[in-house]
C-alpha cells in the first residue's frame, strides 16, 4: 500500500500542475501574482492555526526566513517564465529542478544516491527531452528570457526542497506560515508603489493560488517530504508537468503530440520506480523489527 508520505507529495504535485491555468486567468504582472498568492495564503493559514490552536514553534529562524525568501524568488521567476515564453517552455525548463535537488541533497544533506535513483532520473530526463522536442525553441529575446527565467526558477525551487528537508524539525504549518509572511514582505513594496487593478476572475484566480496552491498544497508537500527522501520527492515532482498537460487540454483544448505523450509515459515510469523502491525499503525495515 502506498505510504502517506508519497500520497501527500503526489497530491500536492497534481494541485501545482494547474498553476499555469490560474496564472493565465490572473492577467497581472508576476510580482503582483506572487504577492496576492502568498498574502492570501498567509492570512488563511494563520487563521486556521489560530482557530485550530496549532502550535507555532519558530525554530532555526534564520534558515526558515531564508526558505521564505527562496520560495518567493522561485515563484517570481516561474511566473515570469510563463509570461515571457510558452507554458510548455516555462514548465519543462522549470522542472529541471529535481536534477539540482538530487545534487544538493548529496552535497548538503549527505544522502546516498541509490542506483535506482539514477535509473529513474535518467528515464525522467529522457521523458523531459521527448516532451521538449515537441516544442519549437526559437531563441528570440522573449523566448530566451523565458527559458532563462525558468531555469532560474528551477534553481530556487531545488533549494526550497533541500531547505524543507533540512528544516524537518520545524512544524510544517509553521514553516509554510513563515514562508508566506516573508514572501509577502518581499513583494509588498512593489504593490504599494504601483497599486494594481483587479478583475473578478483575476482576483479569484490569485486567491485560489494562495489558499489552495500555497497554504494547503505546501503544507501537504512539506508533511510528505518529511517522510520520504529528497531523491524520491524530486522524481515524483515530474508528475507536475505531466498533469499540467492534462489541465492545458481540459481548459485550453491543447492536445499534446506523440512525443509529449511518450515523454510523459517515461516520467510516470520513473515515478513508479521511486515509489516501489520506497515501499520496498519500508517493507524491509518492518521485517527487521
> Over the stretch 68-77, which tens digit does the pLDDT of each residue have?
899 899 989 9
Q: What is the pLDDT of residue 214?
A: 78
Q: How many residues does the chain have?
A: 289
**CA distance between the termini of the chain:** 19
Q: What is the pLDDT of residue 181?
A: 92
pTM: 0.75
Residue reference for cell 483587479: 198
Q: What is the pLDDT of residue 274?
A: 63
Query: How many other β-carbons are positioned within 10 Å of the β-carbon of residue 143?
Result: 17
Instruction: Say how far residue 191 (Cα) sits from the centre of its chain.
Output: 24
Could you tell me which of 278, 269, 226 has the C-alpha nearest to residue 2?
278
- How does the average pLDDT of the chain come out, rounded? 81
Q: What is the pLDDT of residue 48?
A: 87
| Sequence spans of domains, the chain | 4-281
Instruction: Say how far residue 122 (Cα) sits from the centre of its chain.
Output: 20
Contacts 24+ apart (CB under 8 A), 109-117: 109/162, 109/165, 109/166, 109/230, 111/229, 111/230, 111/231, 113/231, 114/231, 114/277, 116/273, 116/274, 116/277, 117/231, 117/232, 117/235, 117/274, 117/277
Q: Give me the percent of the chain exceeding a pLDDT of 70.
A: 87
pLDDT band at 269 (very low <50, low <70, confident <90, very high): confident
Widest Cα–Cα separation across the chain: 61
58 or 248: which leads in pLDDT: 248
CA atoms of 84 and 106, how far apart (whole Å): 33
pLDDT at residue 114 is higher than 60: yes
Query: How many other β-carbons are positioned within 10 Å of the β-carbon of residue 153?
Result: 26
Instruction: Specify the range with the lowest mean pLDDT, choosing from 16-25, 163-172, 253-262.
Output: 253-262
Amino acid at each position: 500500500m502506498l505510504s502517506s508520505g508519497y500520497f501527500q507529495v503526489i497530491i500536492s504535485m497534481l494541485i501545482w500542475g494547474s498553476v499555469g491555468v490560474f496564472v493565465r486567468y490572473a492577467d497581472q504582472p508576476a510580482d503582483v501574482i506572487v504577492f496576492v498568492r502568498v498574502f492570501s495564503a498567509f492570512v488563511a493559514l494563520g487563521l486556521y492555526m489560530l482557530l485550530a490552536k496549532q502550535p507555532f514553534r519558530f525554530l532555526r529562524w534564520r534558515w526558515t526566513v531564508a526558505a521564505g525568501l527562496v520560495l518567493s524568488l522561485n515563484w517570481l521567476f516561474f511566473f515570469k517564465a510563463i509570461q515571457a515564453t510558452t507554458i510548455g517552455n516555462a514548465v519543462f525548463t522549470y522542472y529541471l529542478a529535481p536534477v539540482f535537488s538530487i545534487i544538493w541533497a548529496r552535497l548538503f544533506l549527505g544522502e546516498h544516491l541509490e542506483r535506482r535513483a539514477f535509473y529513474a532520473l535518467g528515464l525522467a530526463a529522457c521523458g523531459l527531452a521527448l516532451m521538449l522536442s515537441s516544442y519549437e525553441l526559437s531563441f528570440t529575446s522573449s523566448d530566451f528570457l523565458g527559458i532563462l527565467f525558468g531555469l532560474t526558477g528551477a534553481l530556487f525551487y531545488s533549494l526550497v526542497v533541500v531547505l524543507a528537508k533540512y528544516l524537518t524539525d520545524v512544524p510544517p504549518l509553521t514553516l509554510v506560515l513563515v514562508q508566506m509572511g516573508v514572501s509577502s514582505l518581499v513583494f509588498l513594496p512593489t504593490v504599494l508603489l504601483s497599486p494594481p487593478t483587479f478583475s473578478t476572475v483575476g482576483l479569484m484566480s490569485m486567491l485560489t493560488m494562495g489558499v489552495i496552491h500555497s497554504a494547503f498544497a505546501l503544507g501537504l508537500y512539506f508533511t510528505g517530504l518529511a517522510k520520504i527522501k529528497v531523491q524520491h520527492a524530486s522524481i515524483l515532482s515530474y508528475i507536475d508537468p505531466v498533469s499540467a498537460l492534462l489541465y492545458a487540454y481540459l481548459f485550453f483544448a491543447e492536445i499534446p503530440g506523440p512525443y509529449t505523450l511518450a515523454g510523459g509515459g517515461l516520467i510516470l515510469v520513473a515515478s513508479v520506480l521511486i515509489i516501489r523502491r520506497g515501499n520496498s525499503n519500508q517493507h524491509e525495515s518492518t521485517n527487521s523489527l
